[in-house]
Amino acid sequence: MNDKHAGDRGGPRVPAHLRAFLVAQDYSRYTPVDHAVWRFVMRQNRHFLAGRAHPAYLAGLEASGIGIESIPRVEEMNACLAPYKWGAVTIGGFIPGVAFYDFQGHGILPIATEIRQLQHVDYTPAPDIIHEAAGHAPILCDPDYSEYVRLFGDMGAKALATREEHAVFDAVLHLSNLLEDGRSSEEDVAAAKAVLAERQAAAHEPSEAELIARLYWWTVEYGLFGTVENPLIYGAGLLSSVGESRSCLEPDVVKLPFELETCIATPFDITTRQPQLFVCESFAQLSDAVRTFAERMAFRTGGTAAVQKAIRSAHTATVQYSSGLQVSGTVAALLLDEDDQPAYLRFSGKVALAVAGQEIEGQGTERHAHGFSAPVGRIASCARALENWQHEDLQRHGILAGHSAQLEFTSGVTVSGTVEHCHVAYGQLVLITWSGCTVTRGEEILFSPDFGPYDMAVGATIDSVFADAADPERYYAQSATNELTHATPSSGSPAHERTTTVDPATSRLHSLYQSVRKLRESQATGALSRQQAEATLTQVTSTLQDDYPEDWLLRIEIYELLCADMDLPDVRTAVRSEIEHLRDTRFSHLSNLIDNALALATTRTAKPA
């Protein structure tokens, strides 16, 4: 996806507020080693996951445009996903959960452009294209699972986090990038872990965003399907981890029947393997669970508790009045009436007013650049809610353009001044604009004429509160920074900025990898005779032995070719001996994967078509 805004060249239409996360894939940046890492993981997983993954996964690999031999082009994946009503775009790395869910709610799969480095071939905590392309995309071709992910996206994008959890996210992002960057020192990693632990300790009671993240983790990322006794893998984190896809099925990993309350009560750690997993009976069970959870979220419950969640988030949120008016901004303060119900709201920073997700003309962040405040509740002298007043009600109380009037709310808030305009939407009064306005509550002055015109929100109650702006396209149109996500256009993780400049020795190694790849492709097409292929492979093997004694992955690829159609038994024996020596002395933590690769090399049926 080379076009940052997407949609312009046949890609999915990305909402404006999400475009800040997009980056170009720049396919030329992938090295021959990157492609070999992709092939190593996909070759092993495709062989191992047959009969162990949900049936939709292997079928979905081809359907979603994912092959074994090389890293996929996301623009081609996007075209393959289109018949399933999904699209794909490329992002720079970790993005906040709310944004990730928002992409999926729009039917767009965000895919990190980076690929894990060889030292993390079995698992990486940082987002990479193996995880998000090969893990997430294939099973989206299953209609029941696709429905669940879309439903989750719609709901998850509304979840409110706390200020402390936003700080935890920043710490996780920093740590994961350090762990993936092979240049990070042990001291830097230890310091990052200490910061993360400190911020996690400060985040006491989990927010609805944290609870929904746990539900996502234990289903979309690390979910099992079927029965506890005989589960199948469907979670992307498992499907994309060549190590954990195997270990997760071992008896020492506890398998629990999926149950919503247990699931959201179970925290997770992205930097290590999971000690327990949840097994769902069907994807419909997951959809039912996410609907159940949604009933307790602030966007459904409204009221005092919902507003207080928005205050604790200290990020852009939308408060929706019973009139339908939506006020988007950072909720800074809440005054309560004697029944502990909302009486007066204050917002800080940029604020915009909308109805049904569409910004009201002239009521955007340019007008409300420095905050907003408004009462909530009923008028003391009228039983009918203000939003439902008819013409005779407005006339009786002097709420007519050019007239002086005063409204006294049951909470004790009083608004007086000259009415300039009444805004009605869908048959409801949603906004009254005053000039020369004074707002008081007892002796406290909440708004004075010196502040300028007063746009008074209308609504007896707060019916919904949710994360981000009601009309994010307009809200963020004039801003280079997405306040919810701290993202700037084309920003990515430090991993995305990995330099493409390599030293001469690394460049030569890349050339050797490329030579073996070309040799494998030539064998498949018959472009080289066996004698030519053997000569090339002998030369590459000799150079590898002399100059790169610790590279095990290229030796695996060479061994595969030697086990296929080469008549070089002495070379094959020597290469296998070198691999086993490296396995036992330098890469014992990868011993299972290396053994699996050696076994696959001698299995002709494992060769890709």
pLDDT tens digits, 346-367: 999 999 999 999 999 999 999 9
Q: Give the pLDDT confidence score for residue 192 in this predicted structure.
A: 83
Distance of CA 22 to the CA centre of its chain: 12
Q: Is the pLDDT of residue 181 over 70?
A: no
pLDDT: which is higher, 177 or 440:
440
Q: Is the pLDDT of residue 2 over 50?
A: no
Pure H helices in 65-207: 74-81, 97-105, 129, 143-156, 163-180, 186-202
Instruction: Report pTM.
Output: 0.86
Q: Give the pLDDT confidence score for residue 280 in this predicted structure.
A: 98
Distance CA 44, CA 57 (A): 15
Q: Is the pLDDT of residue 493 over 90?
A: no
Answer for the pair 214, 228: CB distance below 8 angstroms, yes or no.
no
Terminal Cα distance for the chain, rounded? 27
Q: Does residue 8 belong to any structural domain of this protein?
A: no
Q: Does residue 404 belong to any structural domain of this protein?
A: yes
Q: Give the pLDDT confidence score for residue 502 in this predicted structure.
A: 78
- Point out the domain boundary residue: 434, 460, 475: 475
Distance CA 299, CA 293 (A): 11
Instruction: Enter the tokens of residue 274.
Output: 């999971």
Answer for the pair 463, 320: CB distance below 8 angstroms, yes or no.
yes
Instruction: Enter the tokens of residue 445.
Output: 């002055």
Q: Does residue 536 sit in the same domain as residue 441? A: no
Give residue 182's pLDDT band: very low, low, confident or very high (50, 70, 90): low
CA dihedral 407, 408, 413, 419 (to 10 degrees): 0
Q: Is the pLDDT of residue 508 over 90?
A: yes
Q: Is the pLDDT of residue 390 over 70?
A: yes
- Point out the domain boundary residue: 291, 326, 349: 291
Across 575-593, average pLDDT: 95
Q: Give the pLDDT confidence score for residue 187 in this predicted structure.
A: 84
Across 188-214, average pLDDT: 82
Q: Does residue 201 belong to any structural domain of this protein?
A: no
Q: Is the pLDDT of residue 200 over 90?
A: no
Instruction: Enter the tokens of residue 463.
Output: 């019916």
Q: Does residue 414 sit in the same domain as residue 306? A: yes
What is the enclosing helix (H) or strand (E) of 276?
A: strand 276-280
Domain count, the chain: 3
Q: Does residue 417 sit in the same domain as residue 539? A: no
Q: Does residue 341 sit in the same domain as residue 451? A: yes
Q: Does residue 319 sit in the same domain as residue 282? A: no
Across 178-187, average pLDDT: 73
What is the enclosing helix (H) or strand (E) of 286?
A: helix 283-294
Q: Give the pLDDT confidence score for residue 1 in this predicted structure.
A: 35
Q: Does residue 283 sit in the same domain as residue 309? A: no
Q: Is the pLDDT of residue 163 over 70?
A: yes
- Point out the domain boundary residue: 233, 259, 291: 291
Q: Does residue 449 sit in the same domain as residue 364? A: yes
Q: Does residue 432 belong to any structural domain of this protein?
A: yes
Q: What average pLDDT does the structure give for the chain?
A: 89
CA dihedral 595, 598, 604, 605 (to 10 degrees): 30
Q: Does residue 193 belong to any structural domain of this protein?
A: no
State the residue for tokens 């092939």.
39
Q: Does residue 495 belong to any structural domain of this protein?
A: no
Instruction: Enter the tokens of residue 180.
Output: 């993936």
| CA-closest candidate to residue 40, choices 559, 589, 572, 588 | 559
> 58-62, 514-518, 602-606 — which is least confidently predicted?
602-606
What is the enclosing helix (H) or strand (E) of 226?
A: strand 224-226
Give residue 485's pLDDT band: very low, low, confident or very high (50, 70, 90): very low
Q: Does residue 355 belong to any structural domain of this protein?
A: yes
Answer for the pair 227, 279: CB distance below 8 angstroms, yes or no.
yes
Q: Which CATH number goes with the domain that contains 132?
A: 1.10.800.10
Distance CA 326, CA 469 (A): 9
Q: Does residue 369 sit in the same domain as residue 251? A: no
State the residue for tokens 């159609």.
565
Which one of 2-6, 209-213, 492-496, 564-568 scores highest in mean pLDDT?
Answer: 209-213
Q: At 385, give phi and psi (nearest 5°).
A: -60, 145
Answer for the pair 315, 329: CB distance below 8 angstroms, yes or no.
no
Q: Does residue 287 sit in the same domain as residue 308? A: no
Distance CA 43, CA 514 (A): 18
pLDDT one-digit tens code per residue, 7-35: 444 578 898 889 889 999 999 999 999 99
Distance CA 528, CA 536 (A): 10
What percent of the chain has pLDDT above 90? 72
Q: Does residue 442 sit in the same domain as residue 525? A: no
Q: Does residue 398 sit in the same domain as residue 440? A: yes
Instruction: Enter the tokens of residue 35.
Output: 């492609």
Instruction: Enter the tokens of residue 511.
Output: 């050339």
| CA-closest candidate to residue 71, choices 43, 30, 108 | 30
CA dihedral 559, 564, 565, 570 (to 10 degrees): 40
Q: Does residue 217 belong to any structural domain of this protein?
A: yes
Across 538-550, average pLDDT: 95
Q: Does residue 394 sit in the same domain as residue 509? A: no
Tell me which residue range forms the domain holding 334: 302-475
Give residue 528's pLDDT band: very low, low, confident or very high (50, 70, 90): confident
Task: Please work out, in degrees rounded to the nearest 5, the angle formed at the alpha carbon of residue 392 by the alpha carbons of 389 and 397.
Answer: 75
Q: Give the pLDDT confidence score for residue 478 in this predicted structure.
A: 59
Q: How many CB atoms lie within 10 A of CB 279?
A: 18
Q: Is the pLDDT of residue 322 over 90?
A: yes
Distance CA 244, CA 48 (A): 12
State the residue for tokens 């800080």.
348
